[in-house]
Amino acid sequence: MSFSRLEWDSSFFGKEVGKIEHLDSKFSLIKELQIAKQKNADLVYYFNNQETAIVAPSILATYSGKKVDTKVVYRWLVPSEKINFDTSSDEIESYDQIIVREDLLELAYRSGIYSRFKLDKRFEEDHFKQLYYLWLKNSIEKKNADFVFVKKEGKEIIGFVTFKKRTDNFGEIGLIAVHENHSKKGIGRQLINKIKEVTIALNLSGFKVATQQENLGACNFYEKNNCQIITSTQIYHFWLNQ
């Protein structure tokens, strides 16, 4: 796919930002990067799902590029047999306030610790935080999520997950995190079981969730919960005018 400008990203980051997707040769990539540069793009995201890598070291050097992520998408399918969930998911509550609580915001930041917007140090830290603040805010306002579920200890929120129904009869997890002081207590399993229950209640075929290949903890967690990888995409950032 040829270079295209990203209006929202350009406005948010205060730079000219665009994307290129799924080319079949390094020559096509060079051509599109040259076009992007002619259009004064500051930053280009390149998404590559080809089995054969086409991003040669010389291209990275010439166009100030770097691989920043390998995005993997997991899918869970509703099984044909009935699932008997334990009662622990009953401890997961629906979050129905239109308030960005500080403990919830810290969990949103934690959900993005492997994000390319966090790991690419050419982005400002404030941009990462603003990005995840907006993602959380839009989720609790039901703009980009249908459900927000939380796990509390006393009055403190120590885990949360956002969930949206897609148009393809699947659901999608957006943000999910557990407080670092409460890891390995089964809270993640409680959250994912709640999502499985909602998926079944809505008569969906299953749900999908994206994470980073480098986030081994998340990958292991989804695989233990019977999710399987369906796509893997290499993501590069090219800073053309830096």
pTM: 0.93
Specify the pairing of strand 228-239 against strand 43-48: antiparallel
pLDDT number for residue 41 = 97
Residues 6+ apart with CB under 8 A from 225: 76, 189, 192
| Region for residue 46 given its phi and psi (left: phi exceeds 0; alpha: psi -120 to 50; beta: otherwise) | beta
Domains, the chain, with CATH or none: 4-63 (no CATH), 75-232 (3.40.630.30)
pLDDT in tens, the chain (242 residues): 689 999 999 999 999 999 999 888 899 999 999 999 999 999 999 999 866 668 889 999 999 999 999 999 999 999 988 887 776 667 899 999 999 999 999 999 999 999 999 999 999 999 999 999 999 999 999 999 999 999 999 999 999 999 999 999 999 999 999 999 998 899 999 999 999 999 999 999 999 999 999 999 999 999 999 999 999 999 999 999 86
pLDDT number for residue 85 = 74
Whole-number Å distance between alpha carbons of 55 and 63: 11
Cα angle: 68, vertex 104, 185; to 5 degrees: 85
Whole-number Å distance between alpha carbons of 207 and 198: 10
Torsion of CA 143, 8, 22, 229, to 10 degrees: -30
Contact 32, 65 (CB under 8 A): no
